[in-house]
Amino acid sequence: MIRAQTVLKIVDNSGAKVVKCIKVKNKNGKSYANIGDVILVAVQSLRPRYGRRVRLKMNKSEVHHAVVVQTRRLYRNRNGVGVCFNSNSAALITPKGKPLGTRISVSLPARLRSSKWGKLAAMAKSIV
């Protein structure tokens, strides 16, 4: 469960490394987010640039939208299988819902493929 002030890792190649959750969006009064929910985040630190020509898509302390893709809390599927991850992670998106990065470097839960985030699942390394 992701609440305000939670620190998350970014799993795509958009340029951010660590973000902090500011607000949980579209939850009808609930103050926490689960896998697949949209949150508003502030960039805390950036990935290092390895060449002079590499242009970052963001700066520190910018506000972006993100989708929660991994949580440490155990999530049970309808068939009873539980899935949990080592860290709380997110992938950055545009306000219209398109991903900012082009690759995702971790395995994602199958729950994202069945929801409206199929494009994120297609970019992932594997599906659990």
Residue 107 falls inside a structural domain: no
- Of the pLDDT bands very low, low, confident and very high (cuts 50, 70, 90), residue 87 is very high
Residue 82 pLDDT > 90, yes or no? no
Cβ-proximal residues to 30 (8 Å cutoff; 6+ apart), any chain: 24
> How does pLDDT run across 90-126, given as a tens digit for each residue?
999 999 999 999 999 999 988 888 888 999 999 998 9
pTM for this structure? 0.89
Domain hosting 78: range is 7-102
CATH number at residue 25: 2.40.150.20
User: Over 70: is that where the pLDDT of 54 sits?
Assistant: no
The answer to the question of residue 110 being in a domain is no
> What whole-number percentage of the chain has pLDDT above 90?
62
In the block, residue with structure tokens 């689960």: 34
- Specify if 114 maps to a domain: no
pLDDT of residue 70: 94
Does 65 fall in a domain?
yes
